[in-house]
Amino acid sequence: MERVTQVLATTNEISLKGGNRAWFERTLTDNVRRALADLPGASVSRPAWRVLVSFAEPVDFAEVARRLHTVFGLGAIMAVEHAGFTLADLEASLVPRLETMTASTFAVRCLRSDKSYPMTSPEIEREVGTIVQRRTGWPVQLRDPELTIHVLVDENGLFTWTRRVAGPGGLPVGVGGRGACLLSGGIDSPVAAYMMMKRGMRLDFIHFHSVPRTDPASLEKVHDLVRVLNRYQGQARLVMVPLLAIQEQIAARCPAPLRVLLYRRFMLSLAERIARRFKARALVTGESLGQVASQTIENLAAVEAVASLPVLRPLIGLDKLEIIGLARSAGTFELSIQPHVDCCSFLLPDQPATKSHASELDAAEALLEVTELVDDALERTEVHRIADAAAWEEIPIPAGAGS
Ligand code: ATP
Ligand code: MG
């Protein structure tokens, strides 16, 4: 377990965003503060293209990395030592740490963001390399060394680190607009949410249920999924929409092969009405091309015809195994695989249509009391504000951060 008092994280794509940069950086630092709120006295400063966190007492680096890995917009996470201002300070800080390390080869890499510092980066690399070699006898190897000692020179002096963990990438949640995610209790839709949050989108969640035909316990599972996703964005609305009356009328009046597609159409139009109330600009689903019969391109198009907001499907080109990998890193997988009965898993036809057309679904809907069904469902909709988040143990420690 490596204990640290300072952690430096680089920002990901923020430098590309010109005029919005200050806003992006402010959002990012706020998100970092939120993620570290439970660690002792984390103070967060924002020098140029990075974020520096100082803790009031030593903390486990793996725990810091776990938390920072939920902050989209961070590019890399390093445990750093502030090594004073001069090479002599640096030597004093580095030497005791060298004694705890072993390496068959090493290199020194310097990054100088304070251009007024009296030495250039290559000079610093050479000098520090000499110090290390004198103390340890390790041979220098510039290409692919076992140990890389990094030195950063900025207005606050010299910082060193030897371990770097990849950050989550993406953009800070809050800079990508607002969306509404159709969240089932399955594996895919929480991953779709994760991917849109990763691009900076703030999400509310909409869940359709068939209570009392399905167990109300399945609603608790959806709450729990939102709590995990809240680790990435703080808080969210969770809207619970009753679908049972709609499903029963569809099952009674419409051709069986179209049932699931008609359920989906109602989901999209209800979600759109709810999303507009929250000023969301897009709907998000966990669909992946060809994964099931309702997700052929013909069926996706026929269902989507009722929506006027863009329907974002970040998983459209992913295989199930790739989605599962993402679910594991998001921390949603274990919850998703707990058994539950989804609203679409009963009243199911034996042979669902694989190639429908919007006009065919329009004709089927003409057999239904659409306005009444929609109004009734909206009236019985419940909006929950989920302000708390899952325990940190549910979020995995990123690869390389150890524990
Ligand atoms: P998931 O793992 O998300 O359940 P899936 O492969 O089971 O995905 P489907 O059941 O076909 O896929 O659903 C496709 C998408 O439709 C889901 O990813 C989700 O966005 C939305 N959806 C399905 N059922 C519900 C539901 N009960 N409430 C909200 N959205 C749903
Ligand atoms: Mg599902």
**Segments of the chain assigned to CATH 3.40.50.620:** 178-394
**Segments of the chain assigned to CATH 3.30.2130.30:** 3-165
Structure tokens at 179: 């969306």
Helix (H, G, I), strand (E, B) or coil at 389: coil
Q: Considering only CA atoms, which residue is closest to atom 20 of ligand 1?
A: 285
Q: Is the CB–ligand 1 distance for residue 149 below 6 Å? A: no
Q: Which fold has domain 3-165?
A: VC0802-like (3.30.2130)
Question: Which residue, among 318, 229, 241, has the nearest Cα to 272 in the 3D structure?
Answer: 241
Residue-by-residue DSSP string for 37-73: TTSTT-EEE--TTEEEEEEEEEEEHHHHHHHHTTSTT
Class of domain 178-394: alpha beta
Ligand 1 geometric centre to CA of 266 (Å) = 13
Ligand 1 geometric centre to CA of 31 (Å) = 29
Question: Which residue, among 33, 85, 31, has the nearest Cα to 54 in the 3D structure?
Answer: 33
Structure tokens at 150: 């990094």
Q: Which ligand 1 atom is the nearest neighbour of the CA of 292? A: 11
**Pairing of the two strands 283-284 and 178-182:** parallel
Q: Count CA atoms within 13 Å of residue 46 on its CB side.
A: 16
Handedness of CA 301, 307, 310, 313 (dihedral sign): negative
| Residue 61 identity (one-letter amino acid) | F
Structure tokens at 21: 């940069």
Per-position pLDDT tens, the chain of length 403: 789 999 999 998 765 566 788 888 899 999 999 999 999 989 998 777 789 999 999 999 999 999 999 999 999 999 999 999 999 999 999 999 999 899 999 999 999 988 899 999 999 999 999 999 999 999 999 999 999 999 999 888 999 999 899 999 999 999 999 999 999 999 999 999 999 999 999 999 999 999 998 888 889 999 999 999 999 999 999 999 999 999 999 999 999 999 999 999 999 999 999 999 999 999 999 999 999 888 999 999 999 999 999 999 999 999 999 999 999 999 999 999 998 767 666 677 778 899 999 999 999 999 999 999 999 999 999 999 999 999 999 999 999 898 5
Q: Considering only CA atoms, which residue is closest to atom 23 of ligand 1?
A: 184
Task: Determine the longest span between alpha carbons in the chain, in angstroms.
Answer: 85
Question: Which residue, among 350, 348, 372, 376, has the nearest Cα to 262 in the 3D structure?
Answer: 348
Q: Considering only CA atoms, which residue is closest to atom 17 of ligand 1?
A: 286
